[in-house]
């Protein structure tokens, strides 16, 4: 049994300090993310080394477009999440108790390099509800030259985030809205916390950001414009992925994001940001990389495969501009 790193006592209760939900747990109670239980005066990380899935995936699928293109990575996930998104596409793993299997530190070392994998992606659910395992696993993997990448909702307190980031080679943080009221009503979260995590991560590791376009909730010119301006303020060279919304789980009354909205977001962002992509569309060219300096096509993508014909090392082969990309 592994004791949690982030909690304090308050009378007979324990208060979890990992994320802003600050769950108060009496003896035997479990946190809202399923990751922690109060047992006899200690908070126990019951999710330590327990995974709901383990598959080898292309890094482009996470999505990471500027991190070791054309690589495969072992992708694992704990059961649970600290946000409660009404539209979650993985709700069977995030919102419900699912069967888990153990991947201990020895096993992860064995499997991280198989099938040409470059390391481990902590993804599908919320990896930052797993800091005890994350730090132990990432340290071991770093020791054998393997990569550790996270796909996160960014809804975490600052201290644990700063503790974990030194071991993380890349992170994709998902912004599901720019307004707190949308986060509160549909996700039980808060936009300010997520945006703050982006500001911190941008200084610590390779960062890519995903923005979810939900019709009527996050797709107005004002919301998209606010997101773009925020990214300009953080760093305009951070790759940005606009993601299509699909009606799912408890939110089936809102339609799929139409192509016109996806294209609108692309065009608005293209005026200010260096690398913009549309996810879950078959529109030609919107997953390709264009040099921000000379505007030539440098990376062509299709079906999670990237053709790097316009690159020379990490530079544009046409004008020599340094691209924000890791190999
Ligand atoms: S990490 Fe989990 S247990 Fe801790 S406060 Fe957040 S939801 Fe609650």
Give pLDDT tens digits for 206-251. Answer: 999 999 999 999 999 999 999 999 999 999 999 999 999 999 999 9
177 within domain boundaries: yes
Residue 293: inside a domain, yes or no?
A: no
Judgement on whether residues 183 and 219 belong to the same structural domain of the protein: yes
**41/97 same-domain check:** no
Q: Please, which contacts does 314-319 make with residues 24 or more away whose CB atoms are closer than 8 Å?
A: 316/291, 318/291, 318/294, 319/291, 319/293, 319/294
Instruction: Based on the fold, state whether residues 95 and 158 are members of the same structural domain.
Output: yes
What CATH number does the domain containing 164 carry?
3.20.20.70
At 194, the pLDDT band (50, 70, 90 cuts) reads very high
Determine, yes or no, domain membership for 220. Answer: yes
Same domain, 151 and 252: yes
> Average pLDDT in the 164-184 region?
98
* Token pair listed for 245: 């919304």
Q: Domain boundary residue among 267, 287, 307? A: 287
Cβ–Cβ < 8 Å for 19, 128 = yes
Cβ atoms of 218 and 182 closer than 8 Å: yes
Domain hosting 210: range is 50-287
Query: Does residue 81 share a domain with residue 20?
Result: no
Give the 3-state secondary structure of residue 43. strand
Atom of ligand 1 nearest to the CA of 129: 1
Q: Which atom of ligand 1 is nearest to the CA of 19?
A: 6
- Output the pLDDT for position 8: 98
For residue 107, what pLDDT band results from cuts at 50, 70 and 90?
Answer: very high
* Residue in the block written with tokens 């949308």: 182
Q: State the distance from the centre of ligand 1 to the C-alpha of 22, rounded, in angstroms.
A: 6
Instruction: Please indicate whether residue 22, judged by its CB atom, sits closer than 6 Å to ligand 1.
Output: yes
Measured on CA atoms in the order 205, 149, 250, 15, is the torsion positive or negative?
A: negative
For ligand 1, atom 5, name the residue with the nearest CA.
22
Q: Give pLDDT tens digits for 17-55.
A: 999 999 999 999 999 999 999 999 999 999 999 999 999
- From the CB of 241, is ligand 1 less than 6 Å away? no
**Alpha-carbon span 133 to 130, nearest angstrom:** 6
C-alpha–C-alpha distance, residues 272 and 277, integer Å: 13
* 34 domain residue, yes or no: yes
What are the pLDDT digits (tens) for 49-98?
999 999 999 999 999 999 999 999 999 999 999 999 999 999 999 999 99
40 and 154 share one domain: no
Test site for ligand 1: of 10, 17, 18, most ligand atoms within 8 A of the Cβ: 18
Residues 257-268, mean pLDDT to the nearest whole number: 98
Does residue 62 share a domain with residue 25?
no
CA distance 194 to 157: 10
- The answer to whether residues 144 and 247 belong to one domain is yes
Same domain (yes/no): 220, 245 = yes
Position 322 confidence tier, pLDDT thresholds 50, 70, 90? very high
Distance 72 CA to ligand 1 centre (A): 31
Same domain membership, residue 88 and residue 14: no
Q: Whose CA is nearest to atom 2 of ligand 1?
A: 33
Same domain, yes or no, for 146 and 125?
yes
Does 297 map to a domain?
A: no
Cβ–Cβ under 8 Å, residues 277 and 242: yes
Question: pLDDT band at residue 116, thresholds of 50, 70 and 90?
Answer: very high
Q: How confident is the model at residue 13 (pLDDT cuts 50, 70, 90)?
A: very high
Give the chain's length. Answer: 327
Residue 323 domain-assigned (yes or no): no
For ligand 1, is residue 83 a contact (CB within 6 Å)? no
Q: Assess whether 127 and 240 both reside in one domain.
A: yes
What pLDDT shows up at residue 195?
98
Out of 33, 134, 194, mutate this one to test ligand 1's pocket (max ligand atoms within 8 Å of CB): namely 33
Residue 129, ligand 1, Cβ within 6 A? yes
Q: Is residue 122 part of a domain?
A: yes
Task: Specify the residue for token string 């153990």.
Answer: 102
Indicate the average pLDDT of the chain. Answer: 97
> Is 319 among the domain residues?
no
Whether residue 18 has its Cβ less than 6 Å from ligand 1? yes
Pocket flag, ligand 1, residue 16 (CB < 6 Å): yes
Measured from the Cβ of residue 131, the count of other Cβ atoms closer than 10 Å reads: 21
As for how many domains the chain has, the answer is 2
Per-residue pLDDT averaged across 264-290, rounded? 96
């Amino acid at each position: 049994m592994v004791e949690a790193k982030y909690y304090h006592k308050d009378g007979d209760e324990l208060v979890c300090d990992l994320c802003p939900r600050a769950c108060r747990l009496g003896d035997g109670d479990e946190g809202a993310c399923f990751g922690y239980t109060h047992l006899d005066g200690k908070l126990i990380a019951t999710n330590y080394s327990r995974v709901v899935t383990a598959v080898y995936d292309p890094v482009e699928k996470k999505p990471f477009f500027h991190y070791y293109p054309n690589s495969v990575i072992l992708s694992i996930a704990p059961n649970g999440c600290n946000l409660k998104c009404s539209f979650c596409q993985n709700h069977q793993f995030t919102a419900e108790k699912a069967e888990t299997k153990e991947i201990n530190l020895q096993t992860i070392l064995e499997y991280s390099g198989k099938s040409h994998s470059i390391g481990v992606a902590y993804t599908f659910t919320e990896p930052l509800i797993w800091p005890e395992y994350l730090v132990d696993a990432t340290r071991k993997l770093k020791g054998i030259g393997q990569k550790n990448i996270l796909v996160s909702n960014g809804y975490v307190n600052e201290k644990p985030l700063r503790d974990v980031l030194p071991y993380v080679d890349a992170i994709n943080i998902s912004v599901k809205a720019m307004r707190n009221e949308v986060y509160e009503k549909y996700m039980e979260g808060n936009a300010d916390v997520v945006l703050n995590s982006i500001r911190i991560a941008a200084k610590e590791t390779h960062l890519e950001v995903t923005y979810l376009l939900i019709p009527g909730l996050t797709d107005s010119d004002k919301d998209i414009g606010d997101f773009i301006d925020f990214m300009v303020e953080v760093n305009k060279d951070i790759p940005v992925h606009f993601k299509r919304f699909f009606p799912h789980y408890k939110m089936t009354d809102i339609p799929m994001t139409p192509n016109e909205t996806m294209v609108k977001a692309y065009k608005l962002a293209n005026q200010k940001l260096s690398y913009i992509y549309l996810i879950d569309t078959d529109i030609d060219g919107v997953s390709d990389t264009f040099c921000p300096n000379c505007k030539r096509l440098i990376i062509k993508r299709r079906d999670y495969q990237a053709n790097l014909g316009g690159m020379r090392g990490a530079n544009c082969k046409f004008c020599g501009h340094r691209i924000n990309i890791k190999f």
